[in-house]
Amino acid sequence: MHHDLHQDIEEILIDEATLQRRIAELGADITRDYQGRRILLLGILKGAAMFLMDLARAIQLPLEIDFMAISSYGSATESSGVVRILKDLDEPIEGKDVLIVEDIIDSGLTLRYLLETLRSRKPASLRVCILLDKARERQHPLELDYVGFSIPNRFVVGYGLDYAQLYRNLPYIGVLKPEVYEGQ
């Protein structure tokens, strides 16, 4: 198959250099805020995997990495808030300083569910680091501790984010041409 992924992109919202600059800043903020502590970076598969790996290298602290995979029921472009754990953490988080690393917050339903589930496991602290915050109204606003970028309410792909499992390997955040998913 010869398919140029870039051709399906309408507009680049955040280019590679801008992404990496901001991630370096987030890493510095986290390093300062957690000084003297050891943290657990909890990545949400698959979308946050690339972000987590770059963020981890920007943090100058002892840290552990673990992943969870969840699936939210819903259509391809809108989540329903009903979330299922596909892969749980390898280790208990009780007493640990946990920092959730997530790719994007849209309705916020996925994150709300995650926070509830993880709080019940009694971590010492639980905070959230989100790469992209979509500008839209939320029924229950969430407190986000670290935010990479605020973006318009459009469907984006790249740097870990997918449409139908593709486009994760684009090095930037881009808006998909509507005809790519309208044809489905």
Residues labelled catalytic: 106
* Structure tokens given for 94: 């009780």
Please compute, for residue 141, the number of CA atoms within 13 A of its CA located in the half-sphere on the CB side. Answer: 5
Q: How far is the C-alpha of 141 from the C-alpha of 144, rounded, in Å?
A: 9
> Residue 47, interface with Mg ion (CB under 5 A)?
yes
Cα(89)–Cα(70) distance, integer angstroms: 11
Q: How far is the CB of 154 from ligand IMP (least distance, A)?
A: 7
Q: Cβ closer to Mg ion: 47 or 148?
A: 47
- 79, interface contact from ligand IMP, Mg ion, none, CB < 5-8 Å by kind: ligand IMP
* φ, ψ for residue 7, nearest 5 deg: -65, -20
* Contact yes or no for 123/66 (Cβ under 8 A): no
Nearest distance from residue 72's CB to Mg ion, in Å?
Answer: 8
* Nearest distance from C-beta of residue 122 to ligand IMP, angstroms: 24
Residue 109 binding target from ligand IMP, Mg ion, none, CB below 5 to 8 Å by type = ligand IMP
- Binding partner selected for residue 42 from Mg ion, ligand IMP, none, CB under the kind-specific 5 to 8 Å limit: none
For residue 46, is the peptide bond before it cis, meaning its omega torsion is within 30 degrees of 0? yes
Q: Contact residues for Mg ion (CB under 5 A)? A: 47
